[in-house]
Amino acid sequence: MVQCSRCVPPEYIKKGLYSRKYDVYSFGVLLLQIISGKKNYNVYGPHQNLNLLEYAYILCKEVSGMEFVDPSLDDASSTYKLTRCIQLALLCVKEKWTHRPSMLEVSAMLRNEYQNPAYAKKTSFFNK
């Protein structure tokens, strides 16, 4: 099975380091793929120059995150949950593994044990 560079954490690609939060990064990418219904190796955005992680970050930063969501998932009762999951996924794909939550924290955030996940400032592999 071939893994694309957007599924593998940057610390592994850049330095060959397997961090304790490799699984967290992969989970974040998977969550973004599920929510958007998009593949992470295509390009998106108005100029077709953004990867999936960048595209999610830009849309959420501009408070139009629901544009990122696959229309088949969206309904009036799930908007908050989907927005929260996008925020969580963006935390999981942070550049430095030390800034990503642990899988225990991810699980707690999914169970709503945290108020709101902190907003990710920048995703990994951000070209801008």
Report helix, strand and coil shares of the chain as percent, to nearest 5.
45, 5, 50
Average pLDDT, the chain: 78
What pLDDT, in 10s, does the model give residues 89-125? 999 998 888 888 999 999 998 888 766 666 555 555 5
Q: What's the structural domain count of the chain?
A: 1
Residue 36's Cβ-side half-sphere holds a number of Cα atoms within 13 Å equal to: 26
Range of the domain at 66: 10-110
On whether residue 76 sits in a domain, the answer given is yes
Section 6-30 average pLDDT: 74
On whether residue 4 sits in a domain, the answer given is no
CATH of the domain at 29: 1.10.510.10
Q: Is the pTM of this model over 0.85?
A: no
On whether residue 126 sits in a domain, the answer given is no
Is a pLDDT exceeding 60 seen at residue 2?
Answer: no
On whether residue 1 sits in a domain, the answer given is no
- Of 45 and 96, the one with more pLDDT: 96
Residue in 76, 119, 101, 92 with CA at minimum distance from that of residue 34: 92
